[in-house]
Structure 1
Amino acid sequence: MGRGRLRIYLGAAPGVGKTYAMLSEGHRRVERGGDVVVGFVEHHGRPRTEVMLHGLEQVPRRELVHRGASFTEMDVDAVLARRPAVALVDELAHTNVPGSRNAKRWQDVEELLRAGIDVVTTVNIQHLESLGDVVETITGVRQRETVPDEVVRRADQVELVDMSPQALRRRMAHGNIYQPDKVDAALSNYFRPGNLTALRELALLWVADRADEYLQQYRGEHGIRSTWQARERIVVGLTGGPEGRTLIRRASRMAAKSSGSEILAVYIARSDGLTSASPKELAVQRTLVEDLGGTFHHVIGDNVPEALLA
């Protein structure tokens, strides 16, 4: 029996629609004749999300008692015994109640995958282990529930559920995320525009890096050596002055952060031949950019912007 496939809906913050997207995917698969069950979904009292559970088979949860209080968690044994083709499991970074089969929900998901069950799940960018310090700096809140980055990177598919900070704050103000008595505090603290913008950028950058990994893997598997125009071209405009070396090195660092980027160093010479550029310095810069994997271009033109774009 082969390993199950893992699909993750990634979000920048609570309320962007990850659980809704996961349940929508569950309905699509059921409509196509798939055998889908809900292993665990937490709708947090959101009516639109709760409605999406209708029509989906739900595996009964396991009840546990901890310190005199009753809790429910996903019943891993029950899901394994049911053996569906697909299990919907919310909140990948969740910490299970003491006494559960595993300490973390991502470990529960790993068991299902090993049993050949496909899993569709959700997680927010702030729960990735490597981003804990960054998120704390942005929001002032240390995330206690985390998931190892490698678990998310190993997913067969990661889909970003994106929403602008303004739209998310409107959803919050309309009571579509938290209960009314918690809205003002949330908007004034964690859900401030700056926080949401920074978290969104983290999510977008993470997904972009993941897409680049997929691309590099595909190129390697298919023996593709030529450059595809799927990444940025970094153009460095040179004047022939010594600052050009600094600009070239800066461009090289930028390219290293996004593998596949192409560095083009361009010197624009006037058509009348008049110039204050040092030929010796340009030669040094040409050698530098070529040593760093870029290309040097000497272009004739009196209009610098037009010449750069030509």
Structure 2
Amino acid sequence: MLKIFTSYTPGAGKSYAMMEEAMNESRNGKKVVIAFINKQHRDSSKMPFECNENVTIHPLKGRESIEEIIEMKPDIVVLDELGMRIGKHTFLYNVAESFIKNNISVLTSANLKRFEEVNPIFRSATGVGIKTTIPNRFIKGADEIVFIDREPELMIKDFKEGKLFGERYMNSRIMNKNFEENTLKTYREISLDYLEKYNNVRIIQRD
């Protein structure tokens, strides 16, 4: 089972919602392994995390750690940022496939514009795209797509107040372009229109 948490913009709360679901599953008796959380641009200490007998943190450190997780036989593995690269030739989506092939469910996050089919639509609208994309087979083959929706005005307010990212990302030209009102409204419209063709989408509205 593959469940993808996505949104039209960074900072909407995809990873938070993913972790919240993982913790709920652990409280219901599922064995959960936290394998990768991206800490580059967020304070991961604010994520919902509960230490209990069903939650294990086992960071990815190459092929050996992937095999170790498979041997643990968890019900669920959490892989933040599906499109990120670990190692020279391996992406997290490759890792996700390894777990799924071994009957381990994967909860993951990725911005919608990361996907190969959607990226050109975003790029044509604003001129900003992603160099490294996620193959279409992942979003097309997902068992559930969870879309985190939030009004652009709220996203802009939090961005300007420095609530979403560290200094490096706040000073990024591309990130500032992303959080212009017209850009966010365009991205949101593109995302909702694109997802209409899927019947496995669940929308979470955030205030």
State the TM bucket, normalised to the shorter chain. Answer: 0.7 to 0.9
- Distance, in Å, in 1 between the alignment partners of 2:64 and 2:17 is 20
2:68 maps to what in 1? 78
1:190 maps to what in 2? 178
1:207 maps to what in 2? 195
Q: Cα distance 1:96–1:46, how it changes in 2: closer, same or farther (>3 A)?
A: closer
Paired amino acid for 1:152: I
Equivalent of 1:94, from 84, 94, 117?
Answer: 84
Paired amino acid for 1:203: S
Scaled by the length of structure 2, the TM-score of the pair is 0.84
Q: Indicate yes or no: 2:55 matched with 1:59.
A: no
Paired amino acid for 2:193: L
- Structure with larger RCO (C-alpha < 8 A, sep 6+): 2
Q: Which runs of structure 2 are paired with 1:190-269 in the superposition (5 Å)?
A: 190-211=178-199
The CA deviation at 1:127 is: 0.7
Residues 115, 133 of structure 2: 8 Å contact kept: yes
Gap regions ≥5 residues in structure 2: 202-207
Q: Cα distance 1:174–1:112, how it changes in 2: closer, same or farther (>3 A)?
A: same
Residues 94, 146 of structure 1: 8 Å contact kept: no
Give the match's secondary structure for 1:162.
strand
1:164 maps to what in 2? 151
User: What CA RMSD, in Å, does the superposition of the two structures yield over aligned residues?
Assistant: 2.4
Paired amino acid for 2:163: N
1:33 maps to what in 2? 29
Residues 59, 79 of structure 1: 8 Å contact kept: yes
- Distance, in Å, in 2 between the alignment partners of 1:12 and 1:130 is 14
- Distance, in Å, in 2 between the alignment partners of 1:80 and 1:187 is 37
The CA deviation at 1:58 is: 0.8
Give the match's secondary structure for 2:77.
strand
- Distance, in Å, in 2 between the alignment partners of 1:104 and 1:162 is 26
Give the match's secondary structure for 2:196.
helix
Residues 115, 136 of structure 2: 8 Å contact kept: yes
Residues 128, 174 of structure 2: 8 Å contact kept: no
Paired amino acid for 2:58: V
Scaled by the length of structure 1, the TM-score of the pair is 0.58
Give the match's secondary structure for 2:122.
helix
Q: Cα distance 1:49–1:137, how it changes in 2: closer, same or farther (>3 A)?
A: farther
Q: Cα distance 1:111–1:201, how it changes in 2: closer, same or farther (>3 A)?
A: same
- Distance, in Å, in 2 between the alignment partners of 1:41 and 1:110 is 17
Q: Cα distance 1:129–1:181, how it changes in 2: closer, same or farther (>3 A)?
A: closer
- Distance, in Å, in 2 between the alignment partners of 1:92 and 1:180 is 23
- Distance, in Å, in 2 between the alignment partners of 1:13 and 1:49 is 21
The CA deviation at 1:207 is: 2.1
Q: Cα distance 1:6–1:144, how it changes in 2: closer, same or farther (>3 A)?
A: same
Residues 169, 187 of structure 1: 8 Å contact kept: no
- Distance, in Å, in 1 between the alignment partners of 2:21 and 2:177 is 32
Equivalent of 1:115, from 102, 110, 114?
Answer: 102
Q: Cα distance 1:93–1:130, how it changes in 2: closer, same or farther (>3 A)?
A: same
Q: Indicate yes or no: 2:6 matched with 1:10.
A: yes
Q: Which runs of structure 2 are paired with 1:298-309 in the superposition (5 Å)?
A: none
The CA deviation at 1:9 is: 0.7
Give the match's secondary structure for 2:3.
strand
Q: Indicate yes or no: 2:128 matched with 1:141.
A: yes
The CA deviation at 1:133 is: 2.1
Percent of matched pairs sharing the same residue: 21
Give the match's secondary structure for 1:52.
coil
Give the match's secondary structure for 1:210.
coil
The CA deviation at 1:187 is: 6.3
- Distance, in Å, in 1 between the alignment partners of 2:77 and 2:64 is 11
Residues 16, 47 of structure 2: 8 Å contact kept: no
Gap regions ≥5 residues in structure 1: 64-72, 216-310
